[in-house]
Structure 1
Amino acid sequence: MILAFPSRYAADETERRIPDVATARALVGTAAAPVEALLARRRAEWAVFSAAGNGTLLERTEDAVRLGHARLAFRHGTLGGDFHAYHNEGHVLEICGSRIDRLRDTLGLQALALRDWCALMLFGACHDLRQREAQHPVDGIGANERASIDETGRILDACGFSRERDADLYVALELMIAGSTFDARASAGGHPYNAADLVQSGGALASRLDQVLDRRHPGWRAERFVVAAQRLALVAADLDTANVAEPFARFASTAENLCREREMLSGRSLAAGESALPVLNFLTDGQDRFFFELHRFQSDAGMAAFGPGKEANAPKLKALCMGVRARIAVQGAPQTGDQVIEAYRATLADLTG
């Protein structure tokens, strides 16, 4: 490990239940159809990389994506009992699917090596594996991310990768996942920060990952694998936060899902009065702050691929936030979070026609 964290995270019940790709396939069954279709498409696209050994790399990558997808589906997704509205297997598909597609279409397939494309797919499948760790940031790297790094290493092991032969991929995934932390500080009220609460966040850690490496792994700039991994972590952070560049209705739905997840993790029912003000703040001032102040593209590649989409969404987000506030002002103070979400959806429908 490059960052040498003081503690490690052991396998949990889900990991023990789904130790390998054969078990994953058996348990997920027909629900794996979307990820299988995506993997088949990637294999066809990447056939242009014909170097010896690439077939094995693709097989191992595909199996690791399958295993990560399955564990998230059972741990926090539609196949388990602890559903997270945003951090579920759908997030795997959007990063490994349309967002990597956009990057490919912008840069060209040959702009990155096959191992880099594989690393981005592995990141998409594994960076959010763990979402229930007690928040204890180390150098700004969240506990969920550190636990996901540890589990990702074990997934690579289980799928035939070698920590010696494939050290570049292990290092890349470690730094990519660490850099995806969206500032794990405690909130101003002293309550533990949770990863869904972007309103309290200071942005993706990837922009400051070089400083973390300076403290934890001096001399890293002379290590080729680490330099390459740090650069790839910037691209990965842009993939992770590229919801800002999605078609606007899709972007707005991700905000709602994040809001729902945040309230769930905070222990507030959307049907209760205590959720009304937090939901209103999140879907208006919080989204405005995230979009215009906290979010920054970290890489030239990310800016090229996703910058135009974000620019197109900027006036629409302003209109949505203003519209929600105006609708609430007319309707009167909402009594529940559900009422705020209804107003949010109605305003979005007016804007998107």
Structure 2
Amino acid sequence: MSTTVNSLGFQKSPAETRVVVAMSGGVDSSVCAALLKEEGYDVVGITLQLYDHGIAIQKKGACCAGQDIHDARRVSEMLDIPHYVLDYENRFKEQVMEDFADSYIKGETPIPCVKCNQTVKFKDLLDTAKDLGADCMATGHYVQRSLIENGKSTMLRGADMGKDQSYFLFATTQEQLDFLRFPLGHMDKAETRRHADRFGLIVADKPDSQDICFVPEGKYISVIERMRPGALKAGDIVDIDGNKMGEHDGIVKYTIGQRRGLNIGGTVDPLYVVKLDPKTNQVIVGPKEALETSEILIKEMNWLGEDVPEEGLKVSAKVRSTRPGKTATLKLGKMGMARIILDEPEAGVAAGQAAVFYREDRLLGGGWINAAISNDPRLQ
């Protein structure tokens, strides 16, 4: 056996190291597989069939992201690596799509891509990789993995801050992180595309996907209506003092912070959606200041950092993937619960989104936002 540690951290030659690559059919995962193959690793490609695209868009004859599966297969053939397609439709429907619909009905704003990573990809697929005798599983995510002093794996933001995906991987457990590798984490997208051109990959110019995979063209309402018939119930739009301002035809059509499309008119100052109440089926609107919160309650915490002292830990907290981190104090509770107190108020924080914590570039962990305590006492 070789005494040299290879690029994936194993004390054996690349040829003796089996790597399962999660191949989505896009340029990132394709380049990931190509680079590992070029290094001489024993690469196996796996693509997941997650949903029936024909049902999603209510058209016959459309395969589940059929083009993506086809592209992944063609790339694998070109690289001369084994490629398998796993039918995870039932798991995906139960663990991701059902949760997506139910979250909206509960007045939340879900992030199904995180749920997919948390369940289907980094749990079920990772187990399958181990069954195939893999030493590790590699993905095309733009995050970095490093080892700290005690030999523990830690996750860092991707070098390309514009492509960093660590926010969406906050639920990765320590055990999963130890098994995962991210070969593109030190690159930017332009470098990835140059590699795709160099390898002559058919997906070199394929555009990045912008939509949630099972929500074509962003039409999430039709997905909810199909999965939960009767979920869209008419109700009242009221202000924060309880005065009726208008009517709505389903709280799932509204999000925290929304200003346009309220159809209430006649107000001097602009009003925003500040709360969704599924119990009363009300959409509550108020002034912009009512969106501000300084305290956020978290559930289902996943923690990768050091022990948190009783008085709390100073962190940088991201409460939306597109927003910069805000300095906050994190206090851990029992049963995966936590509380963060922001140094400065944040506006428009929505239940169902994720709160993700960093120290500089290191991902410390994160959890799901259970509630944002409004700074307006009328909404507390």
Same fold (TM over 0.5): no
More helix by share: 1
TM-score when normalising by structure 2: 0.30
Q: Whose relative contact order is higher, 1 or 2, with alpha carbons under 8 Å and at least 6 apart?
A: 1
